[in-house]
Structure 1
């Protein structure tokens, strides 16, 4: 996970400047058009931007989706064709923008962040949406198209879509981006369960690295979901000219989903923080267990060492001294000392056991 992922122009660049991006330029570009009326649904893969011009001259609702890296020249063409604001086009080119909503006269511009799992790490992909009177222009960086489920719904249940205004499709796209948070958080829930079991069994340095990775990724998800909830709230509370009042009942449901995602995210963040404390406590407890065993072993050998040290002194060969050690001359002196030492060790073990020290 990168701490800073926003593309930006050098300080001092005039606003609205479209400059070739250094990263993401290798992503192939595809332009897909879907137009529909109450009785007809059309879908085409466009070779260039100019091919969509004939579809804008009829009365159908038109959705143009640009997937991958769009060069500045292509963005300029789309901007001229749909009268898109230069500042908005700059935000489309410089990915990594904070989710937001902007109103330009009779046009609505929304930026969202789509959280995806790529190579077992969380990545944020920018979704840019323009809503006009009868058209939607959407942009998404990356290779895979996140809106393919929406196209399947259009093909299968076209009548429901075709009978509604274009802002209903606009809501569907926003709802898909918001709901993508649920499977992401579900995967984190499974990871946290596995992590909790590992903490209780035998935590290692890899466990600590796992905890820190989850905490960082949950922090990134918070940076995605928190402003995204505010975007949905603004669309719900404020009046924007391209959107009709009838669509707000659906936005309420979308806002409810965003709140559920945030609550679940905060719960997982608290769990990951508490798991760090559990890891430190577990490591400390494991260290204390080792020290206790070593202390018991050392305590048992203290009297044994004392006995061995006493009878290791050379005071047994002096016949003139009444204080010589007669035990050294005993026939069974050696096995007797062993019996004494074993008895002392056993008595100490019994004593430790009754005290509950092991």
Structure 2
């Protein structure tokens, strides 16, 4: 598993690490299935021709799972464990077919599904490349979207990103995911339990619903991150330690990762809103506008968090500087108080034979009396100057 970022999380007056990962993670709220750790495969595509299918992602032994939801306004057929033959049967029907492929490490299956729907080779190449940035491509007979799904685990403190691809055609939608489990559970429930707009609309509306769920989960992550930033701001002012400086830097890196992930999504939705594709109906555009507004809000929130963290760093540096100044002030006052005392001790500590005060009977108590008077006088003077 490739670590993207880490930070601190505050809970019960303590700070914990908050971590970003770039693949899906253990079970999340009933929608996430178990995930196995892996490591990145790199350097496998150099010199290959365009359209070559080479999986770039985390090693895994999990089987690829295909599920189908075939529906129209009056009925819905769901196949949790589907095969390519099941896909062919759905293609012959006059309905909307949602094919979900969980696991893209098996390039043969990805290629077989792409062959059934005549997907462009470049789209298939991007599907199996988990490092690809979010984007939108129009291949005339289908739209291809690369998205990044963000999920925060409820029982741990990790935040994970998963590579998700959507292929939207005239009567079908194909979703490709790195692993089993996603954030699309509410969309599936709407398809099962309602005969409303989602069942009466085409795959363009289904694509909108999936994008909307992805954006909504950014809100959940940002809410949690906002709490972390608030805790950081409090700690930066009250307890500016080296640990807090690291927490601020880590939180800033988290914001950068979120910013890099969400900005391309704005371009994708804006491209769909331009209405250049005939696959998206006019009735879906108003809903896409809502998604665009949400994306803009997420971007504004990310920018606000970045400014807050910049302010938190400035507060931390100011607090550290003030703390250092207070320390230097105390040390300077202590040194200043002892300067005249050191002078007196040095004078009467000289080893001269003829010093009349040394032979005086009350010389010793007089010396301590003078020292005490000088010390108290300097304390009162400092107090009068508001230096203490």
**TM, length-normalised to structure 1:** 0.91
Change beyond 3 A, Cα 1:26–1:347 = farther
Q: Alpha carbons of 1:185 and 1:20: their partners in 2 closer, same or farther (altered >3 Å)?
A: closer
Secondary structure of the residue that 1:215 maps to in structure 2? helix
CA distance in 2: counterparts of 1:186 and 1:304, whole angstroms: 60
* Cross-structure match for 2:360: 330
Q: Report if aligned partners of 1:46, 1:52 keep a CA contact under 8 Å in 2.
A: no
Distance in 2, Cα, partners of 1:110 & 1:100: 6
Whole-Å separation in 2 of the counterparts to 1:32 and 1:159: 22
Q: Shift in Å at residue 230 of structure 1?
A: 0.8
Conserved 8 A contact 1:72-1:93: yes
**Shift in Å, 1:86:** 0.9
Query: Does 2:60 align with 1:58?
Result: no
Q: 1:168 to 1:20 in 2, by over 3 A?
A: closer
Distance 1:271 1:175 in 2: 27
2:372 is aligned to: 342
- Aligned partner of 1:81 in structure 2 is 116
Q: Is the 8 A contact 2:98 2:173 kept in 1?
A: yes
Helix, strand or coil: the match of 1:208? Answer: helix
Residue of structure 2 in register with 1:39 after alignment: 74
Q: How far does residue 8 in structure 1 lie from its aligned partner after superposition? A: 6.6
- Report if aligned partners of 1:28, 1:69 keep a CA contact under 8 Å in 2: no
| Separation in 2, partners of 1:47, 1:40 | 18
Q: CA deviation at 1:193?
A: 0.7
Aligned to 2:84: 49
Change in 2 beyond 3 A, CA 1:20/1:128: closer
Output one character per residue of 1:212-260: Cα deviation in whole Å (capped at 9) or x when no partner: 1111111111111111101000101132122111110111111111111
1:218 pairs with 2:255: yes
1:293 aligns with 2:330: yes
Contact preservation (8 Å) 1:150, 1:172: yes
Partner of 1:150: 187
Structure 2 residues without counterparts, runs of 5 or longer? 6-20, 23-39
Instruction: Mark the CA change 1:333 to 1:26 in structure 2 (over 3 Å): closer, same or farther.
Output: farther
Which of 90, 93, 96 matches 2:128? 93
Q: Which moved more, 1:196-205 or 1:151-160?
A: 151-160
Cα distance, 1:74 vs. partner?
0.2
Q: Distance in 2 between matches of 1:139 and 1:186?
A: 27
Q: How many residues align?
A: 351
Alpha-carbon spacing, 1:282–1:126, altered in 2? closer, same or farther (3 Å): same
Alignment of 1:139-288 (within 5 A): 139-288=176-325
- Counterpart in the other structure of 2:14: none
Separation of aligned partners in 2, 1:135 and 1:303: 91
> Do the aligned partners of residues 28 and 326 (structure 1) sit closer, same or farther apart at CA in structure 2, a change above 3 Å counting?
farther
> How far 1:304 moved relative to its partner?
0.8
Closer/same/farther in 2, CA of residues 138 and 22 from structure 1, 3 Å limit: closer
Task: Tell me what 2:4 maps to.
Answer: 2
Per the alignment, in what secondary structure is the counterpart of residue 278 of structure 2? coil
User: Corresponding residue for 2:28?
Assistant: none
SS, match of residue 311 in structure 2: helix
Answer whether contact 2:55 2:104 (CA < 8 A) is retained: no
Distance 1:304 1:156 in 2: 88
Q: Which moved more, 1:136-145 or 1:45-54?
A: 45-54
Conserved 8 A contact 1:24-1:69: no
User: Secondary structure, in 3 states, of the residue corresponding to 1:190?
Assistant: helix
- SS of the aligned residue for 2:4 comes to coil
- SS, match of residue 179 in structure 2: coil
- Asked if structure 2 preserves the Cα contact closer than 8 Å seen for 1:102 and 1:110, the reply is yes
1:195 CA displacement: 0.6
CA-CA distance at 1:184 after TM superposition: 1.3
Mapped partners of 1:102, 1:17: distance in 2: 18
Unpaired runs of 5+ residues, structure 1, are 319-323
Separation (CA, whole Å) in 2 of partners of 1:8 and 1:48: 32
Larger Rg: 1
Give the TM-score taking structure 2 as reference length.
0.85
- The aligned residue for residue 30 of structure 2 is none
For residues 11-64 of structure 1, give each alpha carbon's deviation from its aligned partner in whole angstroms, at most 9, with x where no partner exists.
321111112446243454322211111111221212533332222211121101
User: Is 1:105 aligned to 2:140, yes or no?
Assistant: yes
